[in-house]
Structure 1
Amino acid sequence: MIPLSHGKSSEMNLNAKLTILEQMVDIYDRFIGEFDLACEKYCAHCCTANVTMTTLEGYRIITHLEKAGDMHCLETIARQSHPDRFKPRVSINRMADICARDGDPPEEQMDPSAGPCPVLADDACSLYGVRPFGCRCMVSARNCGQTGFADMDPFILTVNDVFLQHLEHIDAQGFSGNFSDVMQFLDSEKNRQAYTAGQLGPPPAGLVANQPVFVLMIPPEHRDRIQPWLKQIRSIQV
């Protein structure tokens, strides 16, 4: 693991954070474009009800829905949310913090049979362009439908963790949780206003508090290889 200073994520306004998010997506797309992957349209084996994301990603989706006049999508999400969907007990940065201090992280339980994502229709994502990073980074070198699992290069896993940690870092004053829970939280105009103003209180049931990065989860064998991508993330300008 590599230490990272906390920076001043709490001092950035929401527009700046959204700009950083967009640039991070661009960087990641360039990174993943270097790999030969089996992922293609209508390949939806990984599009499950267990995807998690930050409130920043959720707000980006809300903004997209407002511009598209498609806010009724939130009703679909609420109606089709699986009762046994995965709900994390801690965020990824909190998990890294606990592990770095030789603590015992809480056991996370996930039901792989929780069903498809509530916005999946005919094996296509209705929010594909603004999908959460948890969806974007779920890739495989072989068709998951044929193998039953994602065949992912270990370096991709490391880069995924680093991007997820940075996303939480810039949304350190927000929450993380299941896609459905974050979207239902932001469905409330009152909650959106509190989030926009940076005045969220304690996380409600089903969501967890974000925190800045304490350490990055990078194994020794990947530290040199990941440096160019870390440099790109840290050079983002707003």
Structure 2
Amino acid sequence: MGVHEKLRVLDHIYRVYDGFIAGRETACRRKCARCCTRNVTLTTLEAYKIAVHLVDSGKSGLFGKLAAAVDVPRFIPRVTTNALADICLRGEEPPEEPNDPDWGGCPLLDDGECPLYAVRPYGCRCMVSARRCDDAGFAEMDPFVVTVNNVILQYIEHIDRDGWTGNLTDLLLFMASEESRRRYRDGAPDHPPGGLIRNHPVRALMVPPRHRQQIAPLIAALENVPPASAPGG
């Protein structure tokens, strides 16, 4: 699957999730940015989509904001979502992954707003809360929403299974280079830059028994990718 087809499927996944979450009551509002930390992760596919948007929209200066924050502590994942599913299937303990929200806000935030909101990665889209995070001190999610979030993370990683996962800062700085974007379009290099980890295909979805019937329509919607439009269509 070429990068343009991957992006088309990614956009379909985003639409399915947007439709799902629109039907649920959340406290998320404009400038509610407590969950916008520097610990967001994403895939190379999502980073490519964002980087192309920044370049095409004349916002390349935002790469400089990321570069200025590159020495600040942030979450560096050790396992991907699908790798975690494999670990659980084997009955093993996942590695500990230090993650502290007090490391600070996303370096891209501008007065509490996201300058790439329209193309934000799924790691940002899925951070929804039933109550204001400022009031509770954390995001309050229904267990079924957590299950849906995990499943969609698995799907996105599976689409980009030849790519990598990493922190938003690291992956966007990698994709800031036209050469990196070209190499990704042509097929991801064999060895990822430091701080990134290899993606994995889906082997089993992380759906607890109590949610299997409830999530079935959403999985069907994810699988029902519309056919590509004809050129000029």
User: TM-score with structure 2 length normalisation?
Assistant: 0.95
Q: Determine if contact 2:163/2:188 at 8 Å carries over to the other structure.
A: no
Contact 1:82–1:115, Cα closer than 8 Å, also in 2: no
Matches within 5 A, 1:61-100: 61-81=50-70, 83-100=72-89
> Could you say which residue in structure 1 is the equivalent of 2:202?
213
Aligned AA (2:34): H
Which moved further from structure 2: 76-85 or 37-46?
A: 76-85
Q: Secondary structure at the match of 1:29?
A: helix
Determine the C-alpha separation between the residues in 2 that align with 1:224 and 1:173. Answer: 31
4+ long deviations beyond 6 Å: none
Q: 1:157 aligns with which of 108, 125, 146?
A: 146
Q: Match of 1:99, SS?
A: helix
* Cα distance in 2 between the residues matched to 1:82 and 1:172: 28
Give identity over the alignment, percent: 48
Matching residue of 1:35? 24
In the alignment, which residue of structure 1 is the partner of 2:231?
Answer: none
The number of residues matched between the two structures is: 227
Residues 12-27 of structure 1 aligned to structure 2 (within 5 Å): 12-27=1-16
The aligned residue for residue 192 of structure 1 is 181
Does residue 1:110 correspond to 2:113, yes or no?
Answer: no
1:199 is displaced (CA, Å) by 3.6
1:201 aligns to what SS in structure 2?
Answer: coil
Post-superposition CA distance 1:114-168 (Å, at most 9, x none): 1100110100111111111011000001110011011111000000000000000
Does 1:53 pair with 2:42? yes
Q: Aligned pair 1:135/2:127, yes or no?
A: no
Could you say which residue in structure 1 is the equivalent of 2:217? 228
Displacement of 1:104 in angstroms is: 2.6
Partner amino acid for 1:18? L
Distance 1:173 1:66 in 2: 24
Residue 81 (structure 1) shift: 3.8
* 1:82 Cα deviation from its structure 2 partner: 5.5
1:3 matched to which residue of 2?
none
Structure 2: gaps spanning 5 or more residues: 229-233
Looking at structure 2, the residues matched to 111 and 201 of structure 1 have their Cα atoms a distance apart, in angstroms, of: 31
Distance 2:69 2:188 in 1: 30
Query: Which residue matches 2:166?
Result: 177
Cα pair 1:49 1:82 within 8 Å, conserved: no
CA contact 1:81–1:118 (8 Å) conserved in 2: no
Q: Distance in 2 between matches of 1:158 and 1:208?
A: 23
Instruction: Tell me, in whole angstroms, the C-alpha distance in 1 between the residues paired with 2:189 and 2:48.
Output: 14
- 1:169-220 CA-to-partner distances (Å, cap 9, x unmatched) read 0000111000001101111222211111114112221110001111110000
Gaps of 5+ in 1: 1-11
Q: Deviations over 1:46-73 (max 9, x none)?
A: 0000000001000110111122111111
- Would the aligned equivalents of 2:130 and 2:140 in 1 still touch at CA under 8 Å? yes
Distance in 2 separating the partners of 1:82 and 1:32:
35
